[in-house]
Chains A and B, each alone.
Chain A
Amino acid sequence: MRPSTALLAAATTALLAATACSPSGEEPAEGELITVTAGVIPIVDVAPVHLGVEQGFFSDRGIDLRLEAGSGGAAIVPGVVNGEFDFAFSNVASLIVAREQGLPLVALGNGATSAGEQGADFGGVFVLDDSDVTGAADLEGLTVAINNLNNIGDTTVRQSVRVDGGDPGEVDFVELPFPDMPAALETGQIDAVWAVEPFASVIREAGHREIASNFVDTHPDLSVAAYFTSEDRSARDPELFEDITAALAESLTYAEANPDEVRRILGTYTEIDEQVIERMVLPRFPEEIDEESVRTLADLMVTDGLLDSEPDLDALLP
């Protein structure tokens, strides 16, 4: 149902010429806040920016940040390209693919980082408790559900298979939205699922088994997602974007230092059950993108054929 990222990016590129970017930069009046709109999906990873708004990290810098919840991310990249969003949140693999397809996107700062611990990350690969699968290598010949094909999910799960000594080419992937994964696994419609929180917790609590922490297998400090904008937008207001970057960094640092605050704010913008919020594994929120981890991810994307050639990461990363 949801248009794939690649399709959207292609459509965006094709129509970019037709829709000249509308200038959305409001002229700041003295002493007034500048309204900035951010496209963020209502998931766990964006808790820091919600905290940042609440704690006044943005308003202290003269920014009135409006968070718009585009749902599955379908509207996020086009929203940034056509100027509807001043900046937005996306996973790093999507950004690399979009950049390679010619969309002039630049990262502003880190979004969310792997918790870094085997078996206790905010995302992992799960099988039924009575499954014969004991490690990622056993996934050969089986079907794994991921939320988006040709993206961060399959790339990192393939790496788990590789690290465990299996042949990633032998694993089949199907697309399934995260919310549908617990039921699909439990009813035996699928052999294994790659799920992130809160669904990872739902699956754990249903008594199923985690066989791999695919982010950790890729890089223990993997920067999974980032905040980004378009080159045009940041070039038009370089000072504003310095402030936004600083406010984002402060928000992430605050979230990293106060996990209880993260759990509290999750109760305000998500519908996640209170008990799940208490127990689930949170991402880490270092303010800087771990460049090495992104290069590792990009190399894997080349190895797996998601990219034709080595991407120009220097243009994307801050």
Chain B
Amino acid sequence: MSTATAQAPTPGGVRRPGVRARTAPDRPLLGTLGILALLLSWEAVPRLGIVPERYFPPVSEVLTTLVERAGTAPFWEAVGHTLYGWALGLAIAFAAAVLLGFVLGSTPRVRAFTTSTVDFLRPIPSVALIPLAVLMYGTDIRSTLLLVIYACFWLIYIQVLYGVADVDPVAEQTARSYGLGRLSRIRHVVWPTTLPYLMTGLRLAAAVGLILSITAQLIIGSPGIGQQITNAQQGGAVALVYAWIVATGILGVVINIGVRALERRVLRWHTSVRGEAAA
């Protein structure tokens, strides 16, 4: 098992450890230093009285509160609600964007026909739809979903359109002359071309989806991290507000790491990923 994984990254794999040793260490080291500097200044600013401690507690107090809360069931319930709205919304947006993107994108006429509508709808901020969402679905999860889907859909859809349009005409003609049918061409020519664009769209949408999931809970008051932040604010529990904000940040980082790992896996054949590994 272990030998199999070690052998997997074939010719480059032999050289990679050496290469990594030369260039990579700076990155995590600098990253850690960056976080440390941030934490230190967060601790110092309220303690030195630059901002009143009562309204901006030092990081040690915030982290203590976070750790306390992380040991309770309601904390994870709220995290679960937020992740559920995020994941479901993102999945629906992804499926719809891929389907519509491939269908509309590969038919130039339909694409031209819908461009103006897309350009009109795309810049509408999802939060502007909150009154509509509330009116249709109240504080139900569907309100959250509406906002998440709306925001994520365009990000992925536009990327799919670019991807579909980026197909190399020579590759397309070659596939045709080899007698590949429409579905086979999509499978072997269009799909691999679009995939890097699609992954970029997914990565952007994953971050934006989390923001919208929490915003919806903040403003509409459906259960989740956003509602907990409001509740802490309404109770004047300042440290708890910041604890939730830190938790949100951590969640965002975890999601980003996850999507990047997925991207590397899905696109391991692509020059961008291979280049990243060998550079």
Q: Which residues of A contact B (CB under 8 A)?
A: 1-3, 7-8, 11-12, 15, 19, 39, 41-43, 68-72, 74-75, 78-79, 82, 84-85, 177-179, 182-183, 186-187, 198-199, 202, 206, 270-273, 276
Please name 5 further chain A to chain B contacts, defined as beta carbons within 8 Å, in addition to the given A70-B221, A78-B131, A186-B52, sorted by A numbering: A42-B235, A43-B234, A82-B138, A84-B140, A271-B237
Contacts A8-B131, A74-B134; is A69 near B237 (CB within 8 Å)? Answer: no
Indicate whether B55 reaches chain A with its CB closer than 8 angstroms: yes
Smallest CB-CB separation from A15: which chain B residue? Answer: B135
Indicate whether B218 reaches chain A with its CB closer than 8 angstroms: yes
One of B92-100, B225-233, B251-259 contacting the partner: B225-233
Please give, as numbers and ranges, the residues of chain A lying within 8 Å of B218 by CB-CB distance: 71
Indicate whether B219 reaches chain A with its CB closer than 8 angstroms: yes
Contacts A69-B221, A75-B139; is A270 near B130 (CB within 8 Å)? Answer: no
Majority secondary structure, B binding face: helix
Please give, as numbers and ranges, the residues of chain A lying within 8 Å of B131 by CB-CB distance: 3, 7-8, 11-12, 74, 78
Indicate whether B240 reaches chain A with its CB closer than 8 angstroms: yes
Q: How far is the CA of A148 from the CA of B236 in the complex (A)?
A: 18
Cβ distance B213 to chain A, nearest Cβ, rounded Å: 15
Q: Flag if A78 contacts B221 (CB, 8 Å).
A: no
Indicate whether B132 reaches chain A with its CB closer than 8 angstroms: yes
Q: Flag if A79 contacts B139 (CB, 8 Å).
A: yes
Q: Flag if A2 contacts B132 (CB, 8 Å).
A: no
Q: Flag if B138 contacts A270 (CB, 8 Å).
A: no
Q: Flag if A71 contacts B236 (CB, 8 Å).
A: no
Select B231's contact among A84, A85, A271, beta carbons within 8 Å: A271
Indicate whether B268 reaches chain A with its CB closer than 8 angstroms: no
Smallest CB-CB separation from A199: which chain B residue? Answer: B236
Select B236's contact among A68, A70, A82, A202, beta carbons within 8 Å: A202
Q: Flag if B52 contacts A198 (CB, 8 Å).
A: no
Smallest CB-CB separation from B136: which chain A residue? Answer: A19
Q: Flag if B233 contacts A270 (CB, 8 Å).
A: no
Q: How far is the CA of A153 from the CA of B220 in the complex (A)?
A: 22
Please give, as numbers and ranges, the residues of chain A lying within 8 Å of B235 by CB-CB distance: 42, 198, 270-273
Q: How far is the CA of A19 from the CA of B146 in the complex (A)?
A: 16
Cβ distance A139 to chain B, nearest Cβ, rounded Å: 24
Q: Flag if B220 contacts A71 (CB, 8 Å).
A: yes
Please give, as numbers and ranges, the residues of chain A lying within 8 Å of B55 by CB-CB distance: 182-183, 186
Q: Flag if B136 contacts A79 (CB, 8 Å).
A: no
Please give, as numbers and ranges, the residues of chain A lying within 8 Å of B134 by CB-CB distance: 8, 74-75, 78-79
Interface string of B120-135 (1 = CB under 8 A from A): 0000000000111011
Cβ distance A112 to chain B, nearest Cβ, rounded Å: 15
Indicate whether B188 reaches chain A with its CB closer than 8 angstroms: no
Majority secondary structure, A binding face: loop
Indicate whether B54 reaches chain A with its CB closer than 8 angstroms: yes
Smallest CB-CB separation from B55: which chain A residue? Answer: A183
Smallest CB-CB separation from A76: which chain B residue? Answer: B221
Q: How far is the CA of A276 from the CA of B226 in the complex (A)?
A: 24
Q: Flag if B139 contacts A84 (CB, 8 Å).
A: yes
Q: Flag if A1 contacts B219 (CB, 8 Å).
A: yes
Q: How far is the CA of A1 from the CA of B215 in the complex (A)?
A: 11
Q: Flag if A79 contacts B138 (CB, 8 Å).
A: yes
Please give, as numbers and ranges, the residues of chain A lying within 8 Å of B140 by CB-CB distance: 84
Q: How far is the CA of A221 from the CA of B51 in the complex (A)?
A: 39
Please give, as numbers and ranges, the residues of chain B lying within 8 Å of A85 by CB-CB distance: 138
Smallest CB-CB separation from B52: which chain A residue? Answer: A186
Please give, as numbers and ranges, the residues of chain B lying within 8 Å of A178 by CB-CB distance: 234
> 14 A–B contact pairs at CB < 8 A?
A8-B134, A12-B131, A69-B227, A71-B227, A74-B220, A75-B221, A79-B134, A82-B135, A82-B138, A85-B138, A183-B52, A271-B234, A271-B237, A271-B240
Cβ distance B244 to chain A, nearest Cβ, rounded Å: 10
Q: Flag if A177 contacts B233 (CB, 8 Å).
A: yes
Smallest CB-CB separation from B229: which chain A residue? Answer: A71
Cβ distance A89 to chain B, nearest Cβ, rounded Å: 13
Please give, as numbers and ranges, the residues of chain A lying within 8 Å of B52 by CB-CB distance: 183, 186-187
Please give, as numbers and ranges, the residues of chain B lying within 8 Å of A198 by CB-CB distance: 235-236
Please give, as numbers and ranges, the residues of chain B lying within 8 Å of A41 by CB-CB distance: 221, 234
Please give, as numbers and ranges, the residues of chain B lying within 8 Å of A202 by CB-CB distance: 54, 236
Q: How far is the CA of A179 from the CA of B56 in the complex (A)?
A: 13
Q: How far is the CA of A178 from the CA of B231 in the complex (A)?
A: 12
Q: How far is the CA of A82 from the CA of B132 in the complex (A)?
A: 11
Q: How far is the CA of A43 from the CA of B2 in the complex (A)?
A: 57
Q: How far is the CA of A41 from the CA of B140 in the complex (A)?
A: 15
Smallest CB-CB separation from B223: which chain A residue? Answer: A69
Please give, as numbers and ranges, the residues of chain B lying within 8 Å of A70 by CB-CB distance: 139, 220-221
Q: How far is the CA of A198 from the CA of B135 in the complex (A)?
A: 30
Smallest CB-CB separation from A70: which chain B residue? Answer: B221
